[in-house]
Structure 1
Amino acid sequence: MDKEKDGIPISSLREITLLLRLRHPNIVELKEVVVGSHLESLFLVMSYCEQDLASLLENMQSPFSEAQVKCIMLQLLRGLAYLHHNFILHRDLKVSNLLMTDKGCVKIADFGLARTYGIPLQPMTPRVIEIPRVSVCQCQQTASSSFCRAVGCILAELLAHKPLLPGTSEIQQLDLIVQLLGTPNENIWPGFSHLPLVGQYSLRKQPYNNLKNKFTWLSEAGLRLLNLLFMYNPQRRASAKDCLESSYFKEKPLPCEPELMPTFPHHRNKRVTSAPSAESQSKRSKV
């Protein structure tokens, strides 16, 4: 707020308003908004979560087991189903925005880009999410089309223990998507040829979907779920509620219970401790 001259930013007001409305075990809880000694000092008091999944994935010595991945994904999908039931799109889903408590409870956080939506659906800003964690955003977003690809990327990253589509530019990102899912066309994506920017890109010819080659150990049910999440055709993508009913979560290994999730060192709170200076040692000796 120190650099703000025109009051609270509209994005902050949106986030505060939404979080005050939301109450769900898998959504981070905003308990209070506190103003400090000056109006520029504004604090959001939230329920404390010890971990974020991005830090965990970077620091874990061994990856999550498939049962633990299913536990995380079920909690994420329950939180998303609740958001969509309340006509809210998060629009910034990625592992760094998923928090986890030491009791294994996963919570969706960071609602700075979230929006409410209604019927009929109004156009929203198409480019809102950082490149490495997502695939393609549609100009016309629905509850299913806006979350599917991001959830697919999160599931794939948890299973593979690394980002699925680590593109550093839009062109590279599109190429990685085509390599993985095949070249889109009118047969698998009706209306594709009429998309606004299709004529500006020359996509490589890739006739095959390579998800099965990428995740050779994954069951048929797991591959079906990934394919549903990465479906090119927006009309055929699954909703969060549909994904919760996937047979992938009902086959072995079954999802573990949240309280049986492992606990980890608090990587976010690590501080580099340097050797105490002579001055500080002197002050300590005088105390």
Structure 2
Amino acid sequence: MRPISTISDSSKNWTVSLPPSDRARDTKSDEIVALKKVRMDNEKDGIPISSLREITLLLRLRHPNIVELKEVVVGSHLESLFLVMSYCEQDLASLLENMQTPFSEAQVKCIVLQLLRGLEYLHHSFIIHRDLKVSNLLMTDKGCVKIADFGLARMYGIPQPPMTPRVVTLWYRAPELLLGTKTQTTALDMWAVGCILAELLAHKPLLPGTSEIQQVDLIVQLLGTPNENIWPGFSQLPLIGQYSLRKQPYNNLKNKFTWLSDAGHRLLNLLFMYNPQRRFKCGSVFLSQSDPCEPELMPTFPHHRNKRAVVQAESQPKRRKSSKV
């Protein structure tokens, strides 16, 4: 029997299984929920601004493909602050690491179409996620994909406020960010979707750079050398002088994914347009002779989840049978 602890606020009690400590059960509705502990990082002035932004955004978002924030609860100390969210059984990163065979094209379509629907909702709400990657995409046992982790998400509008370019995990970072753009649009998210789509198809990361210089070089090797004709304003980007770009006249996407349908190639090329002004306008055109798999027909991976739970339990230090969080 796993030890339990209780988080209490004025309205509910949550029974938390430890370990792992990322799930809880609502003692009134019996619903399983996910817990995300807010990292305080020795904050002296209250809750970190990144967590406040995430909470503010999630409280206003309600969409089947966006993780739902149910409420925020506090334990006996302010340091014990948790976001109570809808529970998803797995994330795509851990699935890709443990799957024996890649997703089929129909299954990839199912995942990507759900991702695009969630993004369409976000972008129509004037929100850029800015950290899309497979580890931030969750999937339930019913095949429903949900976008998670809004710590770097921001509202945008006209005029656009200045934003730090140090966003988006390196492997999923758009070239305009790497070259120091001062403007951030939904095109950043669409580039990341292209990286995710390619990773699902190839069963491995598409552009696994170890530095910003190598990341730019990998992009050029794959897509060819950018120029003013295909990317107006390219030569004026702030950091362009710091890079010596190789001469690569060809786009190698088709050679990289020889088995992919024409519609799949069209979508990849749209998502990987150098010109951000054109890229952000692309939509869900991932259609060909075969239809996407229905979410409820997506495979489930109970063996992987059980194995992961055992590993987490063994890695946790022994605890007392009950404690207050």
TM-score, with structure 1 as normaliser: 0.90
| Aligned residue in 2 for 1:281 | none
| Aligned residue in 2 for 1:256 | 293
| Aligned residue in 1 for 2:217 | 175
Is the alpha carbon distance of 1:204 and 1:243 closer, same or farther for their aligned partners in structure 2, counting shifts above 3 Å? same
Is the alpha carbon distance of 1:46 and 1:179 closer, same or farther for their aligned partners in structure 2, counting shifts above 3 Å? same
Amino acid aligned to 1:257: E
Amino acid aligned to 1:17: T
- The DSSP-based 3-state class of the residue aligned with 2:64 is coil
| Aligned residue in 1 for 2:184 | 141
For 1:232 and 1:130, locate their aligned partners in 2 and report how far apart those are by CA, in whole Å.
18
Give the length in aligned residue pairs: 268
Deviation at 1:140, TM superposition (A): 0.5
5 Å-filtered alignment, 1:120-139, equals: 120-136=159-175, 137=177, 138-139=181-182
Deviation at 1:187, TM superposition (A): 1.1
- Whichever structure has more helix as a proportion of its residues is 1
Deviation at 1:237, TM superposition (A): 1.0
Deviation at 1:118, TM superposition (A): 1.2
- Whether the aligned pair in 1 keeps the contact of 2:133 and 2:169 (CA below 8 Å) is no
Q: Deviations over 1:226-273 (max 9, x none)?
A: 11111011121143xx422x1x32x22210110010100316434267
Amino acid aligned to 1:161: H
For 1:150 and 1:133, locate their aligned partners in 2 and report how far apart those are by CA, in whole Å.
5
| Aligned residue in 2 for 1:84 | 123
Amino acid aligned to 2:191: R
- The DSSP-based 3-state class of the residue aligned with 2:165 is coil
| Aligned residue in 1 for 2:29 | none
Greater displacement, 68-77 / 2-11: 2-11
The one of 192, 205, 209 equivalent to 2:251 is: 209
Deviation at 1:200, TM superposition (A): 1.7
The one of 55, 61, 66 equivalent to 2:105 is: 66
- Whether the aligned pair in 2 keeps the contact of 1:180 and 1:209 (CA below 8 Å) is yes
Amino acid aligned to 2:299: P
Amino acid aligned to 1:163: P
Q: Does 1:119 align with 2:158?
A: yes
| Aligned residue in 2 for 1:3 | 42
Q: Which of structure 1's runs of 4+ aligned residues deviate more than 3 A? A: none
Amino acid aligned to 2:283: C
Q: Does 1:197 align with 2:234?
A: no
Amino acid aligned to 2:80: S
- Whether the aligned pair in 2 keeps the contact of 1:51 and 1:268 (CA below 8 Å) is no
TM-score, with structure 2 as normaliser: 0.79
- The DSSP-based 3-state class of the residue aligned with 1:271 is helix
- Whether the aligned pair in 2 keeps the contact of 1:91 and 1:113 (CA below 8 Å) is yes
| Aligned residue in 2 for 1:12 | 51
- Whether the aligned pair in 2 keeps the contact of 1:26 and 1:106 (CA below 8 Å) is yes
- Whether the aligned pair in 2 keeps the contact of 1:121 and 1:142 (CA below 8 Å) is no
- The DSSP-based 3-state class of the residue aligned with 1:33 is strand
- Unmatched 5+ residue regions in structure 2? 1-39, 315-325
CA RMSD of aligned residues (A): 1.5
| Aligned residue in 2 for 1:277 | none
Q: Deviations over 1:12-40 (max 9, x none)?
A: 00001111111100000010100111122
- Whether the aligned pair in 2 keeps the contact of 1:14 and 1:112 (CA below 8 Å) is yes
Is the alpha carbon distance of 1:211 and 1:186 closer, same or farther for their aligned partners in structure 2, counting shifts above 3 Å? same
- Whether the aligned pair in 2 keeps the contact of 1:64 and 1:158 (CA below 8 Å) is yes
Q: Deviations over 1:159-213 (max 9, x none)?
A: 0000000001011111100000000111111111111111121110001110011
- Whichever structure has more strand as a proportion of its residues is 2
| Aligned residue in 2 for 1:235 | 277
For 1:208 and 1:148, locate their aligned partners in 2 and report how far apart those are by CA, in whole Å.
22
Deviation at 1:2, TM superposition (A): 6.2
